Structure 1
């Protein structure tokens, strides 16, 4: 029995993914205006965004474990918390309610973002999962674009409540759609009755056959079961030996399986660098380009184009790359191009070079995320929530560290851009070294 992909679940997830970013970045383009309206400093308004990466580093693993144990319940909880956070900001017209709402939404963010591999693995067939991950990831960046557009429209202190109301409506509707479309297990979810039928229809056991290997007995461990030999499970079987009756244990077992996998560890280390450069560039591009005559409005437009290019790249490039088995090559190219773009900004900063270099970074660097997450989905099976949490945690940690370093050099733009170039180049050998393990993973996944 061939089960069909359920794209409605990806649509619902994409809406909520965009909502998390919209709440996060609502004040990114109106920091000064918001500080004046709510009677606080610009640094205090900055904390409305900074609580998100800070709490992500703390909550990434616990939220990943929750998703591995109770996927739909945890994901719906993330959607509802995001909506609740947006609504709390409407209760009172003061900074305290804003911060309370941001904290609620920041707790929800890892429950939503860590689920991008889980939603595709449960609701899409194997051949559609790279497309689903690309779409889900692109929607996250699309939420950033919506946030920048709203802050460009509602630029006065008196219009901020309207911006927050529109955001709350979007979040509530997104949560409602997601709750509706994931109310039942996906066709490829181990909890779905049809998965067991499909598995045994594909590979029935006879008394003379050995039972399928389990995570405890397979010589290569849980990761091998998740994407094991062709004889062990069909391509579209649920992740992690769903047909064998021995799913990967949740809790610390899932964390041990995810972190114990050498490929997952290498991807976590690699994620530090592109995330770090992107966050630092997004945070300080305006300040670093200002000495070259780039105004704040122009810098905001450059960053908006950067994210739009990232949305387009994330929705298209990973699909082509996976089809051509060129994941490692794309990572090397994107990191090298990012380094070259940063060097260009160091040597010749200006409006034109800013548009060209930063747009190139968005187009090539942001698609690295869905590519890495697609590898995680193929590798980890039922530990995908925990493994995705490790990737997001590493990325947010890299963003915090690199942003701090670049922030210390904000009065020395050339040095700051060269530091970001060096950070991108450091990751190139690691990206190149992924070629062999990715080829091995692909051969294990072939039916």
Structure 2
């Protein structure tokens, strides 16, 4: 087996608490990113701007991530505690700034930029925090939990914003988020600065950033995340017009929620199975094939049956597709070693963020029509099939025995 040495000492209680706090912080970054998306019209009225300006509050996040990801990964690898403290501080203070003047678009945008700057320093630590603080046998579970926390945050943002705004308005929502995220940030910073890290030997092979970019395995995993995140974002963006074209308007929200819940379940369960049996490639190939095949079937069946097909396809695709994130991140860490874990993670998340933008725009050519949109999603999934097929059947570790 290439996996973790189960004879190593167990994870300490302090480290377990740190991982839990980190998962809460990860979820918080996603909630803050998508605060305004479910309540676009209400936010536009409250801030006195158009809906396009509200969309920009979410759009700045992937843009800033792309700009800062590589530098964030380098900092996390070299000075983990300092970088994580900065990431938590930017996230919490950004939430507070948004609540300082809840009627000023400029102030809210400034806070959103702070949140966006903190996100690469938080998400980029998904693997390296597990490596530095968690016993080898439990690292896959820690990476899975942190990855699933991203989807939990997305789901919370989608489900909670509307009811809270209806009850207390946008100002109440921003203030409640500020209090909650500030509390999470403070707890996390205290823990990360007090809990001692485990000793981790350096990798036997320690490539720099150019070496990582030329690594065939990392390139294959990057393609997987580019397509996987892109398909998920494209479905979230275009499912409503697709269902409208099929005569089932209003069903998109529950279907996307179901897809996300299935993805959380997959991200929490499949990576451990894949790591224990060294079947990482199997999971990634299944995710790509499910996406390509499922959307192709939905595209070619009669319109009257397409909605029923989507009711089956979307949870299935979500279950395996979103599980691909922790599987890819854990495989990358195992491959490059502990001292380059954050940099590899940041590069893969950078690919995912880029795919989330590019594929949404690519699907736009179908104009929201059901069959062309679903067929486009199937075709855009094919590069992931090729990438997954090209991956090695077994994982190999660049790290010294742990």
With over 3 angstroms needed to count, the CA separation of the structure-2 counterparts of 1:179 and 1:367, relative to structure 1, is: same
User: Which residue is equivalent to 2:245?
Assistant: 291
Q: Does the 8 Å CA contact 2:61/2:113 hold for their aligned counterparts?
A: yes
User: Which residue is equivalent to 1:370?
Assistant: 326
SS of match in other structure, 2:100: coil
User: Which residue is equivalent to 1:73?
Assistant: 82
With over 3 angstroms needed to count, the CA separation of the structure-2 counterparts of 1:442 and 1:340, relative to structure 1, is: same
SS of match in other structure, 2:376: helix
Aligned equivalents of 2:398 and 2:349: distance in 1?
26
| 1:342 partnered with 2:295 | yes
Q: Does the 8 Å CA contact 2:224/2:284 hold for their aligned counterparts?
A: no
Aligned equivalents of 1:187 and 1:74: distance in 2?
15
Following superposition, the deviation at residue 275 of structure 1 comes to 1.6
Aligned pair partner of 1:148 in 152, 158, 163: 158
CA RMSD of aligned residues (A): 2.2
Q: Does the 8 Å CA contact 1:279/1:399 hold for their aligned counterparts?
A: yes
Gaps of 5+ in 2: 1-6
**Which has the larger displacement, 383-392 or 341-350?**
341-350
- Judging by fraction of residues, say which structure has more helix: 2
Following superposition, the deviation at residue 276 of structure 1 comes to 1.4
Q: Does the 8 Å CA contact 2:202/2:400 hold for their aligned counterparts?
A: no
User: Which residue is equivalent to 2:254?
Assistant: 301
Q: Does the 8 Å CA contact 1:293/1:350 hold for their aligned counterparts?
A: no
Q: Does the 8 Å CA contact 1:122/1:186 hold for their aligned counterparts?
A: no
Following superposition, the deviation at residue 64 of structure 1 comes to 0.7
Q: Does the 8 Å CA contact 1:122/1:238 hold for their aligned counterparts?
A: no
Aligned pair partner of 1:238 in 201, 208, 233: 201
- Map 1:63-142 → 2, pairs under 5 A: 63-92=72-101, 93-142=103-152
| 1:256 partnered with 2:210 | yes
Aligned equivalents of 1:385 and 1:341: distance in 2?
33
- Map 1:161-310 → 2, pairs under 5 A: 161-184=171-194, 186-188=196-198, 195=199, 237-240=200-203, 254-296=208-250, 298-310=251-263
Following superposition, the deviation at residue 158 of structure 1 comes to 5.4
Aligned pair partner of 1:332 in 274, 278, 285: 285
State the aligned residue count: 388
With over 3 angstroms needed to count, the CA separation of the structure-2 counterparts of 1:187 and 1:443, relative to structure 1, is: closer
Aligned equivalents of 2:389 and 2:67: distance in 1?
30
Aligned equivalents of 2:21 and 2:238: distance in 1?
33
User: Which residue is equivalent to 2:3?
Assistant: none
Choose 1 or 2 for highest CA Rg: 1
With over 3 angstroms needed to count, the CA separation of the structure-2 counterparts of 1:431 and 1:60, relative to structure 1, is: same
Following superposition, the deviation at residue 266 of structure 1 comes to 2.5
Superposed CA offset, 1:93-116 (max 9, x none): 122222111111011111111100
With over 3 angstroms needed to count, the CA separation of the structure-2 counterparts of 1:271 and 1:50, relative to structure 1, is: same
User: Which residue is equivalent to 1:361?
Assistant: 317
| 1:56 partnered with 2:65 | yes
**Which has the larger displacement, 61-70 or 365-374?**
61-70
Aligned equivalents of 2:135 and 2:195: distance in 1?
14
Instruction: Provide the TM-score with structure 2 as the length reference.
Output: 0.90
